[in-house]
Amino acid sequence: MGLIHSYALWNNKGGVGKSTITFHLAMRYAELHPQTKILVIDLCPQANSSMMLLGGGPVGEENIINLCKEATPRSVVGYLSTVITNGRGAQLPDPYKFVVNVSDYNTYAPQNLFLLCGDGNLEPMAPAINEAASAKALTPTAQPWKWIQEIIRNFIEDITESNDEWLVFIDTNPSFSIYTQIAVSGAERLLVPINADDSSKTAASAMVALLHGTNPPHPIYGSWTYAKMANEQGIIVPKIHMLIGNRLTQFKGSAAAFKALSDATSTSLYEIYKKNPDYFVEPKVTISSKENFIDYYSKPLRDFNSAGVVCAHLGRLLSSMKQKYYTVYSEEAKVNAEKIKECTKAIDEIIVNL
């Protein structure tokens, strides 16, 4: 009982599908595992996964605004500001003062799905979080940087300390700003969406460098990077659990070229794996070739087409969609039964590997 696993969806590259995948995985995992509590923590100020979870489109947007404008916002900003104001060593606030049950806002959501809502004020709040992290240590045991880095980890520990089983997804921002660092420091594992393009290849290597540093370390930045401080202060850096090759079927007819590009990203990560297997969750099979590595660590996720767009807009479970026309703003969008089936299958293949 307690925490099964916590996964941060992160890639140093923007727009690769972190929020969309967080939304679909959380909704579907909750549907398939009614006995498990699923928690989404949205640490991206864009709050895109919160918007989809809380009903999608204008409904989701309004729900976020209402949660964020409460005197003590029921959002990541509310939680972080309360903990930081109370100070290190203070008792943690009741997590349920900040977390919402998604089904109270979105009738399509399973009842076992919870959210610590994203909040646009995370961006203006970031300098204050940085300031708290870089405060002078006033006692020999005080480690302000470590305390701030562990806020989300401690929050997860607190809320999952019950007789229930919990699975946690953390949505992130691509930048490695302080709020992304605390998202990453809060998770045990990483799910890394990648696209089939050259920038995904560089972003994946950059991501590993941000987490673990470079060898040799950078002559100037090397002494105060996240990697160095995490190592010195005993922050547990999450391990890569899965690379999700997102939208590989986007461009019909050139599937081979896109597969090759996505494989190029996996190949560059395989080189990293060979030198540092401990950056990855320990495999359950022997990995002795690039093919083994790709088979084991990378899963494709097809393009959702209109089925995904409509789901995200309405905050609906893919599996609950029917073949018909749905209204998206003033347009009618056709959702095809075959596509719903294919997309649900693709999500399920990721879920069985979590």
Ligand X SMILES: Nc1ncnc2c1ncn2[C@@H]1O[C@H](COP(=O)(O)OP(=O)(O)OP(=O)(O)O)[C@@H](O)[C@H]1O
Among 6, 12, 20, 298, contact with ligand X (rule: CB under 6 A): 20
Q: Binds 88, which of Mg ion, ligand X, none (CB < 5 to 8 A, cut-off by type)?
A: none
Site membership for Mg ion, residue 75 (CB under 5 A): no
Question: HEC string of the chain?
Answer: CEEEEEEEECCCCCCCCHHHHHHHHHHHHHHHCCCEEEEEEECCCCCHHHHHHCCCHHHHHHHHHHHHCCCCCCCHHHHHHHHHHHCCCCCCCCHHHCCEEHHHCCCCCCCCEEEECCCCCHHHHHHHHHHHHCCCCCCCCCCHHHHHHCHHHHHHHHHCCCCCEEEEEEECCCCCCHHHHHHHHHCCEEEEEECCCHHHHHHHHHHHHHHHCCCCCCCCHHHCCHHHHHHHHCCCCCEEEEEEEECCCCCCCCHHHHHHHHHHHHHHHHHHHHHCHHHECCCCCCCCCHHHHHHHHEEEECCCHHHHHHHHHHCCCHHHCCCEEEEECCEEEEECHHHHHHHHHHHHHHHCCC
Judged by CB, which is closer to ligand X: 46, or 205?
46
Site for ligand X in 275-314 (CB under 6 A): 301, 303-304, 308, 312
Judged by CB, which is closer to Mg ion: 47, or 156?
47
Segment interacting with Mg ion (CB under 5 A) among 14-22, 134-142, 206-214, 338-346: 14-22
Length of the chain: 354
- Structure tokens given for 177: 């700003």
Judged by CB, which is closer to ligand X: 16, or 208?
16
In the complex, what is the shortest distance from the CB of residue 50 to ligand X, in angstroms, rounded to a whole number?
A: 12
String of contacts with Mg ion for each residue 15-54, x by CB under 5 A: ---xx----------------------------x------
Among 14, 34, 58, 127, contact with ligand X (rule: CB under 6 A): 14
Judged by CB, which is closer to ligand X: 10, or 226?
10
Judged by CB, which is closer to ligand X: 61, or 303?
303
Judged by CB, which is closer to Mg ion: 11, or 305?
11
Site for ligand X in 46-75 (CB under 6 A): 46, 48
Query: Is 40 within 8 Å of 186 (Cβ atoms)?
Result: no
In the complex, what is the shortest distance from the CB of residue 200 to ligand X, in angstroms, rounded to a whole number?
A: 11
In the complex, what is the shortest distance from the CB of residue 261 to ligand X, in angstroms, rounded to a whole number?
A: 16
Query: Is 189 within 8 Å of 239 (Cβ atoms)?
Result: yes
Site membership for ligand X, residue 160 (CB under 6 A): no
In the complex, what is the shortest distance from the CB of residue 292 to ligand X, in angstroms, rounded to a whole number?
A: 25
Site membership for ligand X, residue 246 (CB under 6 A): yes
Judged by CB, which is closer to ligand X: 23, or 226?
23
- For Mg ion, the binding residues (CB under 5 A) are 18-19, 48
- For ligand X, the binding residues (CB under 6 A) are 14-20, 44, 46, 48, 174, 246-247, 301, 303-304, 308, 312
